[in-house]
Chain A
Amino acid sequence: MNSLTKASTLSSENISVWFGQRQVLSDVNLVFPANKVTALIGPSGCGKSTFIRTLNRMHELIPGAGLAGSVFLDGEDIYGEDFDAVSVRIKIGMVFQKPNPFPTMTIRDNILSGLRLSGRKIENGDEVAETSLRRASIWNEVKDRLNDQAISLSGGQQQRLCIARSLAMNPQVLLMDEPCSALDPGSTRRIEETIKELSSSMTIVIVTHNMQQAQRVSDQTAFFLADDNTPGGVVEFGSTEQIFNGPIDQRTNDYVNGHFG
């Protein structure tokens, strides 16, 4: 564990996003402190997923995407000249909504795929695979079948494999875009446990539609909302305790208590 990189503080300053001429996010300012889990909540279409994609420069892959503002990783602008998209994505990992293990690869090769894709040398592949799978708490389930095809796993296992795949890159920040939305309650619980364990070594940002999940896993919560025909933005940002038990804004109160969305 000593070789692991330290968690970093990530922050967004005045992030606005466009798709073509349409502005979908306006002026998002959030700070994700090191070793904290931040939940992004809000109704569908409010720009949470769009926002999380600006944090590792996946946003710019969409044709017609536009951006204003900055994202700082320990004070350095990831859109600045010192960074390229590839090195940003190595430092800031991402787990997607739907488990997406590479279907042509074995479990072991999936774990090592990031190292191969980014052109790094793999020295102690077995060790990397074991460490990553252990950190994603799936080692015991797959240790005897590392050479099986990854898609022979169940959906929940596939998602934990994808988490392990990101962990193999030793990211400082892990972004999770509704990682449990396609999973059953049992798998969801295990992933939530994993998130809590991982926060000791990295910073985590998670988009979720599940209020209980946000309360269970996160230290702080940001509530996003897009009013009709206006770009989305952050309505309220604070400790998870405050957002769920004593929100200042009426709209936050309505949302977390299930009155809309």
Chain B
Amino acid sequence: MALTGRTALLAALGSLPVGILAPSWTGMLAVNAPLSLAILCDYALAAPVRTLQFTRSGDTTVRLGDGAEVQLTVTNASRRRLRAHLRDAWPPSSWLTGTEQAASRHRLDIPAGERRRLTTRLRPTRRGDRRSERITVRSYGPLGLAARQGSHKVPWTVRVLPPFTSRKHLPSRLARLRELDGRTSVLTRGEGTEFDSLRAYVPGDDTRSIDWRATARQSGVAVRTWRPERDRHILIVLDTGRTSAGRVGDVPRLDAAMDATLLLTALATRAGDRVDLLAYDRRIRAQVQGRAAGEVLSAMVTAMAPLEPELVETDARGLSAAALASAPRRSLIVLLTSLDAAPIEEGLLPVLPQLTQRHTVLVAAVADPHIEQMAEARGTVDAVYEAAAAAQAKAQRQRTAEQLQRHGVVVVDATPDHLAPALADAYLALKGAGRL
């Protein structure tokens, strides 16, 4: 049961006859009894809400920042015409702030036995799954005085994928990758390289790469060229523990790490490597394993979409065990975590030898641009103290990074904007050096 503004207006207008013609209980009754009767009739004549039928269709995934459309088909199976307001409720972050009212409400006018399709346009502002809440229908009677109201639950989930803003860096990195392929053997010969072809010697080539047998067959001196080995295995490990929850700018560290993951995945897949994903804090949060090159990126995006930082300390021992279990052969393990001193020293360093024994380990961390700003603050006493604290924090970070490097770990420490390209560059450097 719901009333309308029209009811209140009629009651207010009723004060004129009551006040002028019949100022008594009789007058009140003469005005309000017909009004009540009209309200009851209207309520009785409104199309029932319970018997409405709903089906949903439309988008199930959307990239953060894009809009999604979800269709809702409403069938009026009753014998009365449905005049109604409908609210298709979704969590608040499904819309930009302020547009929620307009986007979720619809007007309906469905004759008896017919159906109509509504479109709810979502514009999610946060990554993760958006589940539809209840649909509330307020069905008005023919006089528009009273309404029946009821709710239906028609589940639908729209998965909001990470935005992959670092996509713009992909073309330049792919160009660098092509340069690596078929490059001369001068500096790049190493474990992870394989024989590509022979070509004529030019001064400056490594004399060790001269193929004497081929030289003997030809008139000129031939050298072997090498190319980076393909079909290497890369395991990206996302640390979803408490350190990933810290906001850098306006997004958690985890989101910057995801962005870097996506760029690395796209790049490595093009380079012919296999990429797996593991998200871990105290248990496995997400895992992508053994996907074909064509589908690994979409599988990763889908797997990462609902990930949220958990406010628990990461179990480094379990993380290393899980990583070892998912990397049976020699791999590049990319660990996206933070460079805070305590978690690294107490958690990661003791278990690092297990990882570095067989695998190449790369630790990538999100640095905070705000600390960079603080380090440059000058002029006032407060600013200088801030600069001192920031310098100290950076020195600490540097020390932690050095500790890791002493174990043979490659460390990438960059602000969120630069993390993805920096990680891609580190990958290309490793690949170029044949260390995969």
A binds B: no
